[in-house]
C-alpha cells in the first residue's frame, strides 16, 4: 500500500455507515477499493469468482473490525445477479454505493478473435456493468439517492497497450453508458461516474507487460515516470463515491500518470 494515500485518509470517515457493493473484489483494484472503503467506515458486500482470495479479503477487513460479506457469483449471469442483490438486501437491508470493477481482457490478435470470445469480453466489461447498474438503480430510485462508480480504462479513451480490440471497445462503451446513466438518473439524486486507470501494478497487468518485455518501454512513456498503484485508483473511486464529489456526475476521471492528456 502506498503510505501517501493512506496518510491522506488518516482520521477521515468518508463513507461512514454506507453500504457498498464492489465487484471483482478479490484482487487488484477491487481489493484495494474494499480495504480502503472499509477503512472509511463502509459496510461491504464483495463479489468475485475467486472464492479463496475473496474470503481472505473479507477476513482481512473483519480482522480490522470492519464488516464484509463475500459473494462468489458471476456478474454476467442472471442467477448470479439475483444472488448478489438478494444477499445484499438480506444482509444489510439496502445499498448506497455500487463499484462496478469486475472486468478483464485478452491479448488476442484482432483477426483471431472469435464471436464467442468477443461476446465473453463484452459481456464481462460492459453488459454486466449495465445489468448491475440497472438493479442497483432500482434500489437507489426508491430511496432517492445513490452512487455508481464504473471502472473503465485508459483503453476506453484511446487503445489498450496490453489487451485486444474487444477490451478497448467494451471499455469505451462503459464511458458512454456512464454518461447516459448520469443523465437519466440525476433526477433521482443518483450520481454515476467512471474512473479510467492507465497502467497500474495489478498482478494481471504487470504479468502481461513482463511477458511482452515492454515494462521498461511503458514506464518511459509515462510522464510521471512510473506505473500507478492500485491504491491510487481506489482513492479516486472513494472520492467519487463520497460526498466530496456531491456535485460531480457523468464524469470520467483519468488516473494514468499523464500518459493520456485529454
Catalytic residue among 83, 92, 167, 247: 167
Does the annotation mark 247 as catalytic? no
For the chain, the three-class secondary structure string (H helix, E strand, C coil) is: CCHHHHHHHCCCCCCCCCEEEEECCCCHHHHHHHHHHHHCCCEEEEEECCHHHHHHHHHHHHHCCCEEEEEECCCCCHHHHHHHHHHHHHHHCCCCEEEECCCCCCCCCHHHCCHHHHHHHHHHHHHHHHHHHHHHHHHHHHHCCEEEEEECCHHHHCCCCCCCHHHHHHHHHHHHHHHHHHHHHHHHCEEEEEEEECCECCHHHHHHHHHHCCHHHHHHHCCCCCCECHHHHHHHHHHHHCHHHCCCCCCEEEECCCCCCC
Q: Which residues are catalytic?
A: 167
Amino acid at each position: 500500500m502506498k503510505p501517501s494515500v493512506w496518510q491522506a485518509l488518516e482520521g477521515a470517515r468518508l463513507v461512514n455507515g454506507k453500504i457498498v457493493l464492489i465487484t471483482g473484489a478479490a484482487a487488484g483494484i477491487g481489493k484495494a477499493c474494499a480495504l480502503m472503503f472499509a477503512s472509511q467506515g463502509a459496510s461491504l458486500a464483495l463479489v468475485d469468482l475467486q472464492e479463496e482470495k475473496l474470503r481472505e479479503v473479507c477476513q482481512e477487513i473483519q480482522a480490522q473490525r470492519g464488516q464484509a460479506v463475500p459473494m462468489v457469483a458471476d456478474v454476467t449471469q442472471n442467477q448470479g445477479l439475483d444472488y448478489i442483490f438478494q444477499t445484499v438486501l438480506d444482509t444489510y437491508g439496502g445499498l448506497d454505493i455500487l463499484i462496478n470493477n469486475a472486468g478483464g481482457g485478452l491479448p488476442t490478435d484482432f483477426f483471431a478473435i472469435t464471436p464467442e470470445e468477443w461476446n465473453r469480453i463484452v459481456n464481462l466489461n460492459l453488459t454486466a456493468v449495465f445489468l448491475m447498474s440497472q438493479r442497483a438503480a432500482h434500489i437507489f430510485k426508491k430511496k432517492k439517492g445513490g452512487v455508481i462508480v464504473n471502472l473503465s480504462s485508459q483503453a476506453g479513451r484511446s487503445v489498450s497497450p496490453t489487451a485486444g480490440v474487444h477490451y478497448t471497445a467494451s471499455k469505451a462503451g462503459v464511458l458512454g453508458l456512464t454518461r447516459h446513466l448520469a443523465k437519466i438518473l440525476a433526477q433521482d439524486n443518483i450520481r454515476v461516474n467512471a474512473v479510467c486507470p492507465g497502467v497500474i501494478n495489478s498482478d494481471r497487468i504487470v504479468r502481461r507487460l513482463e511477458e511482452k518485455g515492454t515494462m521498461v518501454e511503458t514506464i518511459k512513456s509515462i510522464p510521471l515516470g512510473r506505473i500507478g498503484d492500485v491504491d491510487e485508483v481506489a482513492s479516486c473511486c472513494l472520492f467519487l463515491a463520497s460526498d466530496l464529489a456531491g456535485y460531480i456526475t457523468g464524469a470520467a476521471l483519468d488516473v494514468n500518470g499523464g500518459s493520456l492528456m485529454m
